Amino acid sequence: MKHILLPTDFSENALKASEYAIALFKKEVCTFYVLHADPNATSTGRGGSLNKELDKTVAHLNNKSTGSEHLFETKLLLKNLFAGIERFIIEKDIDFIVMGTKGSSALKELFMGSTALKMLESIRICSILMVPESYQRSPIERFMIATNFDHYYERVELNPVIRLAKNSGAEIQVVHVIDGAPLTEYQEKLKALLKKKMKGINFSFEEVSLTESLAKTISVLIAERNVQLLAMIYHRYGFFKELFATGVIKKLAFNSSIPFLVVPEVE
C-alpha cells in the first residue's frame, strides 16, 4: 500500500494537486492523508472549522477518485508545517508528498530558497511531487529524468519513477545536458549501470547541448519532447546540489509547466 501526504492550505492549487495525485495513483492501493497545519488553531478557536474544511476536501476527493482501493484520512497539525511534517511522515510511513507550487502560507515557503534546501536535506525518506498551478492534466506518455551521471542510482531510488511509468505506460527519457565537457570514464560507467537498471523498461537516453541556461534548456526539452513529468534523484553532492546553489531547482519547481518529482537518495 502507498501512503500519500496531501498538504493543503485549502487553495485551488492545493486541491488541484490533490486531484492530480489521486488520478496518478488510480491503479495503486493508497491511503491519502489530507493535512493542514495551523499552530494557532486551538488558541484562536479555529480547530472546529478547519476540521470541517478538511472533511469537505476529503469528500470532494473521494468523489473524484476512480481508484477502488483509495482511503482518505484527515490531519489537523497543531504545529508549524515545517516543524511537524517530518514526524508525521515517519509515523505514517509516507511514500510521496504531493503539493501545489502556488498558494499561500507555509506551503509556498517550503520549497523556496534556504528553506527548500533544508526541507530536501532533512526529508530524505519520501518523494516530493510538486504540481504547477497552471498544469492541465493529460495522459502521461513520457517522463524525463535529468542527470549528470555523477551519482550511482540504486534500484530503490529509481523505483518511484519506474513504477509510475509502468502504471501509466509511459516512456522514461534520461537526459544529460552537455555544458562542453565530455563525460569522464567514471560517468560513462555510471551511465552504463543506469542503462542496466532500466532493462525491461521503455526508456531512452539523450544528450543535448546547453543553451541559455540549464533551467531554460530543460524547459525547452519538456515542450519539444511532450514530457508530462520531470524527475530528479536528490543527492547531497555534485549535480543536484549545484542546481540548488545556482537557483535552478527553484526555477524548475516554480516555473515548470509540468509536475516536478524529487526522489530521495539512498544512503
Mind listing the pLDDT tens digit for each residue in 57-109? 999 999 988 767 899 999 999 987 777 888 899 999 999 999 887 644 444 44
Mind listing the pLDDT tens digit for each residue in 215-243? 778 878 888 888 899 888 776 655 555 56
pLDDT at residue 247 tops 60: no
Secondary structure of 199-216 in the HEC alphabet? CCCCEEEEEEECCCCHHH
Give the predicted TM-score (pTM) of the model. Answer: 0.85
Taking alpha carbons only, the member of 250, 6, 8 closest to residue 117 is 250
pLDDT at residue 34 tops 90: yes
Q: Which residue has the higher pLDDT, 50 or 231?
A: 50
pLDDT recorded at residue 63: 92
**Quick check: helix, strand or coil at residue 47?**
helix
Structural domains of the chain, ranges and CATH numbers in brackets: 2-131 (3.40.50.620), 142-263 (3.40.50.620)
Residues of the chain by 3-state class (helix, strand, coil), percent to 5:
40, 25, 35
Residue holding cell 524527475?
231
Average pLDDT over residues 48-62: 95
> In angstroms, what CA-CA distances link 227 with 138, 207, 220, 222, 255?
11, 16, 10, 5, 15
